[in-house]
Chain A
Amino acid sequence: DTAVSQTPKYLVTQMGNDKSIKCEQNLGHDTMYWYKQDSKKFLKIMFSYNNKELIINETVPNRFSPKSPDKAHLNLHINSLELGDSAVYFCASSQSTVHEQFFGPGTRLTVL
């Protein structure tokens, strides 16, 4: 029984395509996040949702659009993919914004 799950685990696609990554948590948490981990392992928050409402939106190109259909799901849609979007994307969830976060297994996105 995985706490935070993401699909797909790997995503290889061509520049210009549109793709989505899905995230689900079964922990009953109110807050969910998307992070980007670059090739140097640096982790940066992209978005945060609390009870389906966007609360953090970092400086991310508007090609990236998060969607939260309910508290347990937070999906990430990326339009017009670029080479620089290649990274590992992690979903996470927490009880609140100040509590520890539980991370999903990551989605390795490769844009060719």
Chain B
Amino acid sequence: AQSVSQHNHHVILSEAASLELGCNYSYGGTVNLFWYVQYPGQHLQLLLKYFSGDPLVKGIKGFEAEFIKSKFSFNLRKPSVQWSDTAEYFCAVTSIQGAQKLVFGQGTRLTINP
């Protein structure tokens, strides 16, 4: 069965710091990959997605992620964070064969100090 692991439970940074959130998945087949963000008290919103093509994908609000197939990883990055980036970040994976259900990582809480 698929699983998704996010390495960091809680990350605390100062404004303007660079961010990298780790995400690894376990599934041998072809996958689609997503990062979602959940701002406090709000619903999940899509940050970016990878289906195929260039493994470096750019999303909204200056976020990007790199798919490294050999490492089964899809890490999220942002060169300079802002206070408004404080939120919960979820990596998610769906296989394009089989059950095709979206499996989420446990989430990473990001706190940005002004």
- Mutual binders A and B: yes
**Are A90's CB and B107's CB within 8 A?**
no
**A interface list, Cβ under 8 A from B:** 33, 40-45, 48, 56, 90, 92, 97-106
Q: How far is the CA of A45 from the CA of B99 in the complex (A)?
A: 12
Number of B positions contacting A (CB below 8 A) = 23
A-B pairs with CB below 8 Å: how many? 46
B98-114 Cβ-contact flags toward A at 8 Å (1 or 0) = 01111110110100000
Instruction: Choose from B34, B100, B107, B109 the contact partner of A42 (Cβ within 8 Å).
Output: B107
B73-114 Cβ-contact flags toward A at 8 Å (1 or 0) = 000000000000000101000101001111110110100000
Q: B residues 29-58 with Cβ under 8 Å of A?
A: 32, 34, 36, 38, 42-46, 49
Q: How far is the CB of B73 from chain A (nearest CB, A)?
A: 20
